[in-house]
Structure 1
Amino acid sequence: MTQEITRTEHSAPTRQFTVLLSPTRRGARLARLLSTAHLGDWGLPTDPAAHIVAELAANAAVHGRVPGRDFRLSLAVHGDALLRIEVTDTRGERLPPLPGAVHVPSDDAEAGRGLLVVGALADRWGVDLGPAPRKTVWAELDFVR
């Protein structure tokens, strides 16, 4: 099975933040807090970005976890018009469903809604593979200022 890779091209970011975090609930919570702090310092809205970061970081901690390997959170603002959120983990073989793929969890399922939230909040999202064994799940938000 092949995974479709979606990539958008952008100019160099005007603001950027990257951090490695432990693939734990604590690391996922810290990802959300750091994102909110940086976006606030940059004068950018923190919602819905904080929700997207929370979902992607939680997925990295739960589904992308490899003992001894951190996940990476990256925020990049391009021309004060676009925010790109990236979460990279080291489980390249565990791929989320593609954007637009039909995945509806059962009513009593305790998990499986995170990417539905990301898809509802982001203007675009997708998955980039590699370099092996990594994958990056990303989401973009357009700003109207």
Structure 2
Amino acid sequence: MSFTSTPRGARLARKLASHRLDTWGYPYESDTNTTVTLIVAELVSNAVTHGRVPGRDFALSLSHDEGRGVVRIEVTDTHPVLPTRRTPGTDEDGGRGLLLVDALATDWGVHDRLGPGKTVWAECTTTLGSDGPHA
């Protein structure tokens, strides 16, 4: 799904991701929903803040591989600069988003897309039991 490269677009993407997870059987307050939604929030925030090209949208894709127990997140923007994980100083307000993604996701990375820009992806292992569709 495409969203405007604005804070409002990022907020809508985050809310729709959480809703999709709920429809897949991961309730709003579950560990899986909370973790995936936080990763979505970080990646779409980066797309809006650092990957924004005026007049261009960003896209969010979620997929669920129940067999592997994985939710995959992909955020695509049209800015050519690749994200870099860095360690900000204690006095810096930002720069910790990809550190959070690295800590919460099972795996993540970046790949080129057809046309200008890139796709940042992350995968999260879903929590079985009372947290998801196997409850």
- Shorter-normalised TM-score: what interval? 0.7 to 0.9
Aligned to 1:124: 107
In structure 1, C-alpha distance between the alignment counterparts of 2:15 and 2:66, rounded to whole Å? 23
Q: Could you state the TM-score of these two structures normalised by the residue count of structure 2?
A: 0.86
5+ residue gaps, structure 2, are 27-31, 129-135
In structure 2, C-alpha distance between the alignment counterparts of 1:143 and 1:70, rounded to whole Å? 29
In structure 1, C-alpha distance between the alignment counterparts of 2:126 and 2:95, rounded to whole Å? 28
Equivalences, count:
122
| CA offsets 1:107-136 (integer angstroms, 9 cap, x no match) | 111211000011111000000112231200
Please tell me whether residue 87 in structure 1 is matched to residue 75 in structure 2. Answer: yes
In structure 2, C-alpha distance between the alignment counterparts of 1:79 and 1:134, rounded to whole Å? 30
In structure 2, C-alpha distance between the alignment counterparts of 1:142 and 1:60, rounded to whole Å? 23
Aligned to 1:48: 35
Aligned to 1:14: none
Q: What secondary structure does 2:64 align onto?
A: strand
Give 4+ residue runs of structure 1 displaced > 2 Å after superposition: none
5+ residue gaps, structure 1, are 1-18
In structure 2, C-alpha distance between the alignment counterparts of 1:77 and 1:134, rounded to whole Å? 24
Q: What secondary structure does 2:95 align onto?
A: coil
- Name the structure where helix makes up a greater proportion of residues: 2
Query: Cα RMSD over matched residues?
Result: 1.2
In structure 1, C-alpha distance between the alignment counterparts of 2:108 and 2:59, rounded to whole Å? 17
Please tell me whether residue 104 in structure 1 is matched to residue 82 in structure 2. Answer: no
Residue 79 of structure 1, CA deviation: 2.7
